[in-house]
Amino acid sequence: MAAKNREKKRQKKTIGRDASLSLLQAYNILFARFGPQHWWPGDTPFEIMVGAVLTQNTAWTNVEKAIANLQGARALDAAVIVSASHEQLAGWLTPSGYFNIKAKRLKNFCAWYLEQGGCEALRYWPTARLRAGLLSVNGVGRETADDMLLYAFHRPVFVIDAYTRRIFSRLGLVDHDLSYEALRRYFEETLRAGTGAGRRRLVRLFNEYHALIVVLGKDVCRKRPRCGACPLAAQCSYPLES
């Protein structure tokens, strides 16, 4: 309870406040410690999108097994997925967990994807239209849609996940309770203004930054943080724990 109260006290009610640690500095520190992450694993944009649907609530190693099942059955294809029976698809997806729900979501996504003309058509859509389209699919939420936009379509969209919220609120840079859209705008606008980067450079930065956040959140800034092993500890306002 005391730890919870301490965390609440640390959560600021503003964003973009004067902070000793800028988003760009944090990125540079994380990159220097962890190096390039080479995200997102996947040979094609479609495989990346399938991975984005399957990665919800599970470890990536489980997603890899499910994708390997699809590949082994020559079913890593939107038309094959749509025409497969629910039982067959759920069987291929079993390693990814929640396979009944994920089979429905993946079918919904693939049906929409085919209706729009697949990647050949979608790659020409403006980002706002593409995002709205992805979000219209039952089972595709904001984080999944933004994973697809950034990693499959190379759009300058910052992905917000639970790790991002936890790490940057502990650093004292954002309010933990901000909406997804407010956090996304904060990261995108601050990094765009801080770097002056064009679209391609922003895509590379957002790609690497999200991957580095996941590494830190998974291995170091966990629910119970391992601050002694954290490269951001010197700049962090959270009560340090060893």
Instruction: Report cis status (omega within 30 of 0) of the bond before 39.
Output: no
- 197 makes contact with ligand SF4 (CB under 6 A): no
For residue 50, state whether it binds ligand SF4 (rule: CB under 6 A): no
Residue (of 167, 147, 161, 115) closest to 40 by Cα position: 147
Distance, CA of 197 to CA of 50 (rounded, Å): 30
Q: For ligand SF4, give the closer residue by CB, 168 or 206.
A: 168
Measured CA to CA, the distance from residue 57 to residue 54 in angstroms comes to 8
- Of 152 and 212, CB closest to ligand SF4: 212
**Residue among 89 and 221 whose Cβ is closer to ligand SF4:** 221
Q: How far is the CB of 44 from ligand SF4 (least distance, A)?
A: 35
Of 76, 82, 183, 236, the one binding ligand SF4 by CB under 6 A: 236
Nearer to ligand SF4, 68 or 234 (CB): 234
Kindly state the smallest distance separating residue 214's Cβ from ligand SF4, in Å.
Answer: 14
Which spans in the chain are helix H?
Answer: 2-10, 23-34, 45-54, 60-72, 78-83, 86-93, 99-116, 118-122, 127-135, 142-147, 162-170, 180-195, 199-219
User: Is 220 a residue that touches ligand SF4 (CB under 6 A)?
Assistant: yes
**SS3 string of 23-46?**
HHHHHHHHHHHHCCCCCCCCCCHH
d(CA 56, CA 78): 19
**What is the 8-class DSSP label of residue 171?**
T
221 counts as binding ligand SF4 under rule CB under 6 A? yes
Of 125, 149, 150, 166, nearest in space to 10 by CA: 166
Contact pattern for ligand SF4 over residues 147 through 176, marking x by CB under 6 A: --------------------x--xx-----
Site string for ligand SF4, 115-154 (x = CB under 6 A): ----------------------------------------
| Residue 227 found at the interface with ligand SF4 (CB under 6 A) | yes
Minimum CB separation from ligand SF4 for residue 7, in Å?
A: 9
**Contact residues: ligand SF4, CB under 6 A:** 167, 170-171, 220-221, 225, 227, 230, 232-233, 236, 238, 240
